[in-house]
Structure 1
């Protein structure tokens, strides 16, 4: 099977035939191309247009697409084939660890659907060699997952906050990380990219300016990693170049407890001469967090230390995932009647819709409390004394 480059080369190496004849041969050969050959080419074209971590996710997602559609010829791809594949994907199951077989999550289905849709659109565009006669994914609806919906993540209780605070205090580095997330609601990787110079002890603020990410080194052809992931410090998740107002970079007020923890940590780190020497060699001397040799660590490295600490105390690591501190912050902000726009800016999200849809998991008690406050205010307007006021008097 000829590659795209070989086909293009062949096109320019057939002088004995007319332009029309050469075009006809090329189109025929392109139609006989296997979908997996086209799809690998499409994936390569995306390399560099997204963050390394995002691209790695695309490559991992592509395994499902190539497995289901890879052996079809381009001439066989149509709406029926694509619809059967994407709808059939919702019926597939997989096994993770020792758990029972489970359906793929809505998030995974969305990734497969979006990646496939982009590839099909590209193949049908005039500048995509017209490998397909139409964008067959255009009118195929995104299917819904068959997995049972997981319980919504709830805010932490006061008892849980105190429990976790006491547990993580056994490991200073993790204590700093957890208390930062607890007080600010930042993404775990945003906290891990903080510098000592981002902290203003006098004003009691922390500047959120960057995030910890990772660079992936993948071979798209074999769908495998060619060398280990490398941690890197990069711009914030939703940050875009050229924005006049950057809502992701933010300055947040913090409390006395975390400031005391940060002061103690800064003294501990900067008084460790051997660690500081290694940090200087790695360019991490101003960063709060690093590995034992002063090098940048991956997010997973910190998460493993945190999970081992919880496991030591018989606490479920999945129940207290680092992102739960973010959910906790958002929900508590709403319970404190903080304006939704302010909540959005504190969380560093692009839209308030994201805040409401993902993080603000208020429960029935919040609904009852809010509706009661509104009803009491109307009673007061209409000259009715509420039962609560009667009982007090």
Structure 2
């Protein structure tokens, strides 16, 4: 056996003695002591009580620490990512035994299964960095691991990417159909999604107090979330998401008409601080988060419309804003994007009309 001094006693400020025993010979103990001495000098030594710590143990400690800073929806999403994609590969492994080669192998496998492997790597990386901060690890085995590219990423496709938005005439056709086939509530729901560019959760969480009929504005500041068998409204995740947007006369008129129908003409107070939700079921409870998706798919199938999803309505709103001449910054603020790259991604998929206008403007400029 031999003694060594590694960790500092917080009460005395002095290094605490530790013992390592079980060697068969004095020479064997001396050789191990020399290695320990070198690791202590280099700052790469990890105490025995930390050398057996597993990835799962570190994850649980990290999640308990960090989860209090997350919204319930984010907490649920992060936990799902770990349970589905990360823990199955690392759960019972000791942190000290996880090698760079193993991490590369895991990333290669996950890249074959999902597109969002970069997101998965980012979360796993946080566990390794947390372990380093707690002196469980010295080096991050995920550092330098490469995300492989698939063969199709190098192939130039002649096909147009699948279009998840509607152009102006398609939107008009859809709204004409929705007006005939839907209830007033559902028509208002689709109209708000298309005319405001709001996220589904934001639109479903709207309350009458968020709408200023006189100023013609809507205040998006919360989102609807389903957890533990009940619907709750949460404040928007980022400052950019909490935004005040202007609405047109058509939207104002529809909302006034809908509210009058709900409360009766004699009791409508358009400027009250009514906190009732705008879009609800018959008994007043919030609509299911999947309801807009289900209703949209039903209308698209029965009328043979170009298929898009609910997020495609937000994309459509942005595309038409660009077509109307709005700047990238204006669209970013209206959609509540915290990162302008998200807006730029939409801009690269703008409508055919915008592309034609761009070509036309270039032609006219060259003729001058």
Structure 1-normalised TM-score? 0.70
CA distance in 2, matches of 1:22, 1:269: 77
Q: 1:135 aligns with which of 116, 131, 140?
A: 140
Q: Describe the SS at the equivalent of 2:322.
A: helix
Q: Which residue of 1 aligns with 2:82?
A: 62
* Partner residue, 1:378: 366
CA distance in 2, matches of 1:326, 1:140: 36
| Aligned partner (choices 211, 215, 218) of residue 222 of structure 2 | 211
Could you tell me whether the CA contact under 8 Å between 1:248 and 1:348 is conserved in 2?
A: yes
The corresponding residue for 2:238 is: 238
From 119, 129, 148, the equivalent of 1:111 is 119
Deviations 1:27-71 (A, max 9, x none): 324322332232233222222211111111111111221111213
Shift of the 271–364 alpha-carbon distance from structure 1 to 2, 3 Å rule, reads closer
Which structure has the larger Rg? 2
Partner residue of 2:54?
34
* 1:45 partnered with 2:65: yes
Q: 1:291 to 1:284 in 2, by over 3 A?
A: farther
- After superposition, residues 116-195 of structure 1 pair within 5 angstroms as 116-125=124-133, 128=134, 130-144=135-149, 151-169=161-179, 170-195=182-207
Provide the alpha-carbon RMSD of the alignment: 3.4
CA–CA distance in structure 2, aligned partners of residues 143 and 213 of structure 1:
37
* 1:21 pairs with 2:18: yes
SS in 1 for 2:68: coil
Identify unmatched segments of 5+ residues in structure 2.
1-8, 10-14, 21-35, 37-45, 266-272
Aligned-partner Cα distance in 2 for 1:311–1:343: 27
The match for 1:279 is none
Structure 1 distance, partners of 2:298, 2:91, is: 44
Q: Following TM superposition, by how much is the alpha carbon of 1:371 offset from its aligned partner in structure 2, in angstroms? A: 3.1
What secondary structure sits across from 1:48 in the alignment?
A: helix
Match runs of 1:227-376 below 5 Å: 227-228=228-229, 230-239=230-239, 248-256=242-250, 258-271=251-264, 285-300=275-290, 302-303=291-292, 305-307=294-296, 309-310=298-299, 313=302, 319-358=307-346, 360-362=348-350, 366-376=354-364
**What's the TM-score once normalised by structure 2's chain length?**
0.75
Q: CA deviation at 1:271?
A: 3.7
Q: Distance in 2 between matches of 1:372 and 1:58?
A: 47
- Measure the CA separation in 1 of the matches of 2:293 and 2:322: 31
Unmatched 5+ residue regions in structure 1? 1-11, 13-17, 93-103, 217-226, 240-245, 273-282, 381-393
1:245-264 Cα deviation digits (max 9, x unpaired): x67412213242x3332122
Q: Quick one: distance in 1 between partners of 2:359 and 2:60? A: 55
CA contact (8 A) 1:185 1:326 kept: yes
Q: What is the alpha-carbon distance in structure 1 between the residues aligned to residue 298 and residue 173 of structure 2?
A: 12
Structure 2: how far apart are the matches of 1:367 and 1:267?
A: 42
Cα 1:353–1:294 change in 2 (3 A) is: same
Change (3 A) 1:192 1:200: same
1:304, CA displacement in angstroms?
Answer: 5.2
